[in-house]
Structure 1
Amino acid sequence: MTETKVHTHIDEDQFFWFTINRPDKRNAIDYDVMNELISSLKQVRENHAIRAFIITGNGNQSFCSGGDLSVFHALHTKEEAYSMLSKMGEILYDLMTLPVPTVALINGTAIGGGCEIAASCDQRWAVSHAKLGFVQGRLGITTGWGGASMLMEKVPHASAIKMLSSASTYTASEAVELGFIQKAVSFFDSQSLREEFAVSSAVLRSYKKSFISKWEQSALKERMLAEIEQCSILWEQDEHHDAVKVFLENKKK
């Protein structure tokens, strides 16, 4: 890669930090970031000393704006879309079922796929000025990385359908009321994370196994892939391509 699109490190508390470093692209996801996530999740699974996985974005403007449309707008057919969507869907299933607790530190805007990434995590903390929403419907598609299936596991039914169907953006405090955000804070500090995950890696991993077992029994992966299939069907429709064209043209103005 010509630029470092991701920063990773393991801190003194044995927390693995994954920071998307594309602030000029509002920390959007491209194939390089996907591959970095695959590598990092593999490290966490293999290193039993790691106690938690933290994902965030660089800067204070964006956590993640979802897929990089300047890259993915080249995908036109259902098959092309499914190849990309299912790749990220598999990654987010791996993140959802990571054997340690996971936290999305939402340091700014989290929209579209950014909210799907957040939904795959066990907890979501957001800075007070964050704005977030599943806005995919504005582009004529549904959640494309399995986000709706994961969201249903994390918030009450009424909150999930509201967030998905409205395609609205919410403030951090509104998202707390919906049950999507667990903490709205003025800044993130390591002490709060230490207090949240105070027990050993072995204990943390044992608790996480119980949740993973539940998701395996309810066929979460299959549900996510079925959801992604539906999105890929909508992806090749004119409504989606026309909406993306308008979006990209507005960005140039």
Structure 2
Amino acid sequence: MQKSKTVTYIDEHQLFWFQINRPDKRNAVDYDVMNELEQALKEVEGNPAIRAFIITGAGEHSFCSGGDLSVFHALHTKEEAYSMLSKMGEILYSLMTLPVPTYALINGIAIGGGCEIASACDQRWALPHAKLGFVQGKLGITTGWGGASMLFEKIPSPQALQMLNSATIYPAEVAEKLGYVQKIVPSNETHTLHEGLVQSSGVLRSYKQALVKKWEQTNLKERMLAEIEQCAYLWEQDEHHNAVARFLQNKKK
């Protein structure tokens, strides 16, 4: 029997936890993970008692390594790529605009789409050994789930462009200096996350709604979809397919 690819629960503080449970795949995202994240976000939105949403990865090594290339490498054309990319982009827009505070608990490596997921969250807390980077450029594509547009909302543009253009993987302490990570927390203190939140879920949701209104007025969703379309164009180019083929070949060695 196959174990579930995600684990969800609501803790005693009314925080909703979503864990990607594919440690053998470095917690990569496939269609099942997408669908289960989409369902979890709907559950949070519809439950007024929930005070916050936390997403993390199973194990001690990976938060999320992005899209599962062994699955998505089968997508070749712009249209095929756009179908997958826009689906996840819509889900991450829902995460970005979720009516409660959201946290990415980065418990290990977070690369590519993993950083896009983290960028959709209001805060990013990292364990000391975490490393993260927008490595998409090394595969001949841009952020494909709207990550750049979200990143520009979260940190100053010079730092955002540095992270995107360099495709560098940063240690947690450097990411904190760039403003991407808000807090570095030991693994035995992740349970203290609720201490920074007032008790009233109504208050928490009201403040988040004020922020969401700003993003609606600046057409964030449209900007994300335009970014996704550009990635889909690059996706079908030989540069991308050759880079992914080399990556998958190196993994077998």
Unaligned runs of 5+ in 1: none
1:85, 1:191 → 2: CA distance? 33
1:215 aligns with 2:215: yes
1:191, 1:57 → 2: CA distance? 15
Which residue is 1:103 aligned to?
103
Shift of residue 193, structure 1, vs aligned partner = 1.0
The alignment partner of 2:124 has SS state of strand
Shift of residue 196, structure 1, vs aligned partner = 1.2
Change in CA separation of 1:191 and 1:242 when aligned onto 2, cut-off 3 Å: closer
Structure 1 runs of 4+ with >2 Å offset: 188-192
1:196, 1:236 → 2: CA distance? 44
2:55 is matched by which residue type in structure 1?
Answer: I
Unaligned runs of 5+ in 2: none
Change in CA separation of 1:8 and 1:241 when aligned onto 2, cut-off 3 Å: same
Which residue is 1:143 aligned to?
143
Structure 2 matches for 1:68-83, cutoff 5 A? 68-83=68-83
Paired positions, count? 253
Per-residue CA deviation, residues 23-48 of structure 1 (Å, 9 max, x unaligned), is 00000000000000011000001000
The alignment partner of 1:223 has SS state of helix
1:220 is matched by which residue type in structure 2?
Answer: L
2:139, 2:190 → 1: CA distance? 37
TM-score (norm 2): 0.98
TM-score (norm 1): 0.98
1:114, 1:243 → 2: CA distance? 19
Which residue is 1:230 aligned to?
230
Per-residue CA deviation, residues 26-77 of structure 1 (Å, 9 max, x unaligned), is 0000000000001100000100000000000000100000000000000000
Is the 8 Å Cα contact of residues 127 and 188 (structure 1) preserved in structure 2? Answer: no
2:199, 2:237 → 1: CA distance? 49
Which residue is 2:113 aligned to?
113
Which residue is 1:130 aligned to?
130
1:202 aligns with 2:202: yes
Which residue is 1:90 aligned to?
90
1:168 aligns with 2:197: no
